[in-house]
Structures are given as structure tokens and as C-alpha cells.
A and B are shown apart, each in its own frame.
Chain A
Amino acid sequence: MSDAFQSWGRFPRAARQAAHPIVWQTDRLPATSGTLLPYGQGRSYGDSCLNEGGTLLTTATLDRLLGFDAATGVVRCEAGVTLDTLLRLAVPRGWFLPVTPGTKFVSVGGAIANDVHGKNHHRAGTFGRYVRRFELLRSDGSRRVCSPEENPDWYEATVGGLGLTGLILWAEVQLRPIHNPFVLTETVPLENLDAFFAVSRESEPDHEFTVAWVDSLARGRKVGRGLFYRGNFAPPQFDGLPLAKSHLSHGSGLAVPFDMPGFSLNRLSVAAFNALYYRANVLKRGQRLQHYDPFFYPLDAVQGWNRIYGRDGFLQFQCVVPHATARAAIQEILERSAREVPSFLNVLKTFGGVPSPGWLSFPRPGVTLALDFANRGERTWRLVAELDRITREAGGAVYPAKDARMSAESFATYFPQLERFKAYVDPAFSSSFWRRVTVAPAVQPAALPLQEGAPLPAVPLRSSL
């Protein structure tokens, strides 16, 4: 039993959880009376990578590169290989990840299981679209190579399949070419939400990467005040830049004073940070050339930043709402959180219409918003439950990789292919998340719509205590 394998938000905590390292593709899955769940790098925030009372199949040692074709940009690797390792291999040879989340410290298996998205979703869609093939190992010992052509149903169930259809052993990913490791970026200040919509619309045709940071405490007409970042990979031989310096250290991106003694995330410090961040970055408006690292992975510069939230951890909430209802729903979510529990970091972006092969994929056309909340117990959970309700009523969806609180009712609404998916779940596999969102509403009070002020069902804050 180990306390070492937690999720990124460190909430909820799973205390009674065994870890079984998978070292070789030839390994057999352990026989156990409990349930199994693959575990990558634990960069999911809530409980989708946890298996309280069961066993985690850890893949950090399933990390071999199996081949790279520098002519076609196809890489084949074991599922535990991290995106960081792929970048180290590919960038010097002129290739980049087709889609990348905001951290490079995730495994390929985890990126497939959550069908992750990046700043180029409006153009490229999800990571799963670039996975050409993978091999799936089931608890009955069967192995299947899956691709859009071979075993396509298993392929579609497993992309975005939350680790429940079996263990991915290896995968083949199509990378995209780049000329150099630099991104030509531009920062545009945003007055409010309307400006966000206008700048998004105007930027998307010409910019591969778009994302906005918004001030989490702005209220009223200022809601949505923030900074819009857009960029493209730099053209060849841009201004004769010294490409040799391709591993520049992080000179920019977020400089959060994480190690300040007694630094606590209260309304005041969140306000101070947001104001500072705005002022520091608004000065950098206009175009500049940035190494890909601080552009795509600003938070990776500070190892273990999730620990600033202290023992109780934090919750992230990420939703997507369709364009038709986005304006009102995003406004309401931002205002509520500003009023009730200030979020530390708010990120806003539009998703495009490029479909994903995954049945349970989260991205869909609309606007996506991510918020970070320090876990302050019931107050935070009630807010997150409310945001879940707003999302549902707006016809949107909540991202399982970031979730610790969505209701079972919401989950079923968000993922209409759920019933079809269930037939592909490995009978020996399960997760804390899966049990939480698939129990019948009658036995899980959390699934009932919450009334204002109603006490939340008991979920132990720290089950280890």
C-alpha cells in the first residue's frame, strides 16, 4: 500500500492503493481480487488516475523508445514514455508534438487515455487524432493492435477511454514538422469577455496557437479582463536567430513566487498575483520570439508547483460550453467564482470543430474555461458542484482529467456514448472516478441536483487520516 501515487490536485487522496510496476510489454497483469487501473505520470488533477482500494499499474518503467522515422515523423514508443522524452528526441531532428497539453510531463498512455488537447485545438483537434496505432492488453491476457483500420471499435473506445479499456503497451504517433524550436508569439490585452470573443475570432484563421489568461477577480463589466496569447512556429531561419541556443532557460512565462514563506492563497494574494501578472505581461504586448518551452509549458518551470496548495490540495474545474451559450455561461462561472472562491489561474480558449475518434473525448466545439481552486472543503465543493450544474444547463461538458466532483448525472449527460463505451470496459479495471460517476443516483447523493446551502455528501477530505 502506498501513499506515493496521487493525482496532481492531491484531492481526493487515495490512501489504500497498491502499486504494481509494469516493466515489460511481455508482463502479465497481476492477478488480484481487487481492481486495476493504469497510472502514467499522475498529471490528472482529480480522481481519474486513482484507484482507492485497488491496484495501480504504474508505467514509469514501461518507457522505451521503439523507433523514430526522421523522414516521416512517426515515432513508436512504449506507453510510459513522457512527452518530454519525445520532445528531446524529435525537436533536434525538426519534429514536434502534433498536440500538447500544458505540461510535457505526461505519459503517452495518459495522453491517449484522456485524449488531451492543446492550444491548437481549433486547428488540429486532439492528441488521439495523431495516434496511428497502439496495442491494448486486457486482463484476460488478450492483446489487440488497434488503429482506425484494425479493431476500430477498441481504438475509439480507448482514445479518451480513461484507462478503463485495458493497458496500452505501446503507441505510434505522427509528429508534425518544425523549422526550429521557436514560436513567434503575440500578446494582446483583453478588456473583457467580448474582447476575448472578438480577438479569438480574428486570431484563429492565422494563428495555430491561441489561449487566454483571464483575471480571476475581475467583476461586472471587467469580467474576462486578461491577456490573449497567439502564435505560430517560427519560419525557417527567422532573422538568422542563433538556433544553437535551442535550450534557452525559461526567461519568461509565469514567474510565481512559489517558495515565498507563508505564501497562502487567499483573496488578497490571488488578487495581488493576478494584478501583478497582468501588469508584467501587458508590457510585453506585441510580437516576440519565444523558445517552445516557456511558451507551451510555463508551469513546468517550477517543479511540484501543485504543492503550494498545501496538504488539502486543490481542485481544477474545466468545462467546455457550446458557442451559442458560451457568452452567458462563461460570464456566470467567472462571476460566481470571483464572488465565492477565488480561482488562482483562469485559462480560456475556444475549441474547434475537428472531431476526435474517441467516444469519451472531452473536447467539442465551443469555449473552454479552466479554473484552479485551493481546496477549502465544503465551500469549494459546493461552488464546483454549482459550476457543474451551470455547465450542464448550458449544454456543455466537464473534463474528467480535471475533475474531482462532477455528478453521475452530469457525466452521463456530457458523454452520450457512455452506454456504448461500458461494453468495452475491462471487467478487472476501475478507478475512483469511474465508481463515483457511474453509481446509480439513488445510492450516490452527490448525483442529485444540489440545492443552495444543502450539505454536501460526505467525501472524506483526507481518507488517510
Chain B
Amino acid sequence: MKKVLVLGATSAIAQSTVRLLAARGASLYLVGRNATNLDAVAKDAATRGAAKVEQQALDLNDTAAHEALVERATQALGGLDGALIAHGVLGDQKACERSWVDAEQVLRTNFLSAASLLTVLANRFEAQKAGTLVVISSVAGDRGRQSNYVYGASKGALNVFLQGLRNRLAPSGVAVVTVKPGFVDTPMTAHLPKNKLFASPDKVARGILRAADGRKNEVYVPGIWALIMLIIRSIPEGIFKRLKL
């Protein structure tokens, strides 16, 4: 990935990934909601060696703006061969249970806006017969649990969407990489008590680039989550529904 569109560039995982891409001398088009914070990330990338950095402040829930956004990014970088979809919200499960407005917000940001962006990007990448789409999903999408099933559902839907897209784009040589991080120590999880399973954004970012370079399909980062989720997925539903998870 040399000319990369990064969506949700101010998220902790995206920032770490941007630093690694910058150090490789990639050209970057960074998108985030807060213009001032985005500017700091862009300056950081430029100082660390990115060949070119452009930025645009945008609320990605505005799906009507996606087509124009991708067009602008392509123009600015003189082409596009990679995209990282990293924006997302954790949401508050309890609030989502009480109110559809809250639940819809999570589904909208994590699934609908990503699906919209992927639609635009997939068509372009398919036409140019090249490119890598990297999407940050979550282990939470592997099985619904009472503690965060709205968030989990948004990521689960995303996973299925990506599977289909991967299937569709395989003949045109476009890679679709689903990244499933476990717990990551970021501002999004600042309120949670930390344990040994929490990985740093840097570690996750290295895993993301390794997966992208290797044009992998679905990866867990860190890898230990593949095993953990294998176990979690294989618990029979009859037992699972009685667990406190």
C-alpha cells in the first residue's frame, strides 16, 4: 500500500498504523471528524516521513459524501491502492438496550457507513484490478454476548459483508482484509479495567500491516484471539445463553 486512504485516522489504532505507513514513505489521505486533532495526526505523519499527506475533516455517517470523498482522495494522491477503514464507536450497551436511537447510532457508524464506503471503494478497486481494502472489525462480531451485542452485531454484519466482497473481488485481484483485534488499550477502552489480554495500538498496527502486506483474508490480532474465539464459538448455544459473558 503506497497511496492509502485512512478513514477514522484519529482513532488510536489508525494513528499507530499511519505512523508505520509514514515511516515507509507512503502517501496518505487522512479523514477524521475533529479537524484540529486530524491536523496533529497529519503533521505527525508528514514529520515521520510520509511522501505526501492530505486531510479532510468529515463525519463519516454522512454516507452521501462518500463518493466525493473517495474521488478527492484519488485526485489528491494521484491514485489509490489501499484503504484502511478504522472508524467506529463502542457505544453503551445499556443505553442501546433502552433506546433504539443509541443502538441505531452504533449500527450506522460501524456497519452502514463502512458498507457505504466499501461499496464506493470496491467498485473503483475492481475497475483498476488492484488494491487492498483493510477493515478493522472486532472479535466481538464472532458471537453475540449480552454485554455488547449491539456493537457485536454491527461488527458481525460487517464481517459477513466483507466475506461477500472478498468472494466478489477475488477474480479482480483486490485483497479484502478483515482485521479482528481483541482488547486494545485505547481511549475507547480507557474506562475498562486492563488485563494481560489488552494489546497496545502499536502491536495491533504491526499486525494490521503484516496482514495487509500478506493480503490475508481474516486475521486476529494478536493471534491468541484466534484460539480464544475458536473456543467461544464452539460453546453450544444451549450452554452459552446461560453464561454471564
Using a CB–CB cutoff of 8 Å, the interface residues on chain A facing chain B are: 21, 23-26, 61, 64-68, 78, 89
Contacts and interface: CB of A to CB of B under 8 A. Distances in A.
Given A21-B187, A67-B43, A67-B46, 4 more contacts: A25-B36, A26-B34, A61-B187, A66-B44
A64 B43 CA distance: 8
Contacts of A68: 47
A66 B40 contact: yes
Contacts of B46: 67
A78 B40 CA distance: 9
A21 B194 CA distance: 14
A162 B46 CA distance: 32
A23 B32 CA distance: 15
B47 A24 contact: no
Residue from B40, B46, B48, B187 having most chain A Cβ neighbours under 10 A: B40
A133 to B, nearest CB: 16
Contacts of B37: 24-26
A2 to B, nearest CB: 10
Interface in B1-57: 12, 34, 36-37, 40-41, 43-44, 46-48
Nearest to A63: B44
Residue from B12, B41, B187 having most chain A Cβ neighbours under 10 A: B187
B190 interface: yes
B187 A67 contact: no
Contacts of A64: 40-41, 43-44
Contacts of B34: 24, 26
A26 B36 contact: yes
Nearest to B43: A66
Interface residues of B, number: 13
A403 B202 CA distance: 34
B43 A23 contact: no
A89 B43 CA distance: 14
Contacts of A65: 43-44, 47-48
Nearest to A85: B48
A226 B48 CA distance: 42
B47 A66 contact: yes
B46 to A, nearest CB: 8
A23 B44 contact: no
A67 B40 contact: no
A89 B40 contact: no
Contact of B47 (A21, A25, A26, A67): A67
A66 B39 CA distance: 9
A68 B34 CA distance: 23
B47 A89 contact: yes
B10 to A, nearest CB: 8
Contacts of A26: 34, 36-37
A25 B47 CA distance: 17
A172 to B, nearest CB: 13
Nearest 10 A/B pairs, CB to CB = A64-B44, A65-B47, A66-B43, A64-B40, A24-B37, A65-B44, A26-B36, A68-B47, A23-B187, A67-B47
Interface in B169-205: 187, 190
B168 to A, nearest CB: 38
A203 B49 CA distance: 40
A410 B175 CA distance: 67
19 contacts: A24-B36, A24-B37, A24-B40, A25-B36, A25-B37, A26-B36, A26-B37, A61-B187, A64-B40, A64-B43, A65-B44, A66-B43, A66-B47, A67-B43, A67-B46, A68-B47, A78-B40, A89-B47, A89-B48
A25 B44 CA distance: 13
Given A64-B40, A66-B43, A21 B190 contact: yes
Contacts of B12: 61
Contacts of B44: 64-66
